[in-house]
Amino acid sequence: MSASSECRYKYEECKETADWLLSRISQKPTVAIICGSGLGGLADLLENRTIFPYQDIPHFPKSTVQGHAGQLVFGELRGKQCICMQGRFHFYEGYNITTVTYPVRVFFLLGVEILIVTNAAGGLNPDFNVGDIMIIKDHINMPGFAGQNPLCGPNDDRFGVRFPCMSDAYDKCIAELAREAAEEQGCTSFLRRGVYCMLAGPTFETIAECRALQILGADAVGMSTVPEVVVARHCGLRVFGLSLITNKVVTDYDSKERANHEEVLQTTRMRTQDLQRLVSHLVGKL
């Protein structure tokens, strides 16, 4: 048996996790939200909440990153049944790529139809400012270029087809609703649209890497999101993504700027209310 098939979760394990959760909640969720670094406050918006720490859920991985609470929160948001993931899993934590995406397949088996992903990202586009919120229109899967794709290995047709399309990864109709929500909430002055690029991390990018990513057409760069989106589309979920621009990447060798995680968390605290209002208003429109 190959290493890639050994580290994969089986359908039965995903179903066991989903059934365990379904037996403990009163309503099936239709919307799932994955909260990025410092953005776990989105879960606080849910009403009639039921909370499950990751360590209590069968087969579930554990989150180890500062700014990630590590729990699933079920509840109601603007009349919609939602599940919120407070703390995602990252490749750089030492998890293999199929473990990182395990929750998405569980969401699919719970009955989720729409996945909203949020992340903290560095701004590559020189027109972007710290605190901008970027609607993700497309992505560049750098780990995928190196063979780290969560769909590698045997395909299980119960989840999706062998060769899923990714040219429509991000739902245009939901993005349009988000723009409407931003207009109604007075958020358009810092709303952007662009391409998100994922690198594996945990190092922030070198100057040469940032310049290369700009040439490739990336507007923002981070260390998450893309694997979950790939698996969500494989399962047939509709996807909407937001990046909070927490720092501007360094592209000048004479610059004294240095990217750091504390700056990332500080910016999310500054913009978290706006992001929460935007997501909440969007969910109400779905």
Q: Which residues are catalytic?
A: 37, 68, 90, 92-93, 120, 223-224, 247, 261
Exposed/middle/buried for residue 183 (C-beta within 10 Å: 0-12, 13-18, 19+): exposed
Q: Does residue 244 contact residue 121 with C-beta atoms inside 8 Å?
A: yes
Residues 6+ apart with CB under 8 A from 252: 207
Report residue 204 as tokens: 């922030």
Q: How far is residue 34's CA from residue 283's CA, in Å, rounded to a whole number?
A: 13
Q: What are the DSSP calls for 9-50, one per residue?
A: PPHHHHHHHHHHHHTT-SS--SEEEEE-TT-GGGGGG-EEEE
Q: How far is residue 280's CA from residue 44's CA, in Å, rounded to a whole number?
A: 11
Q: How far is residue 225's CA from residue 242's CA, in Å, rounded to a whole number?
A: 10
| H/E run at residue 120 | strand 114-123
CA 286 vs CA 80, 175, 257: distances in Å: 8, 11, 40
What type of residue is 206? T
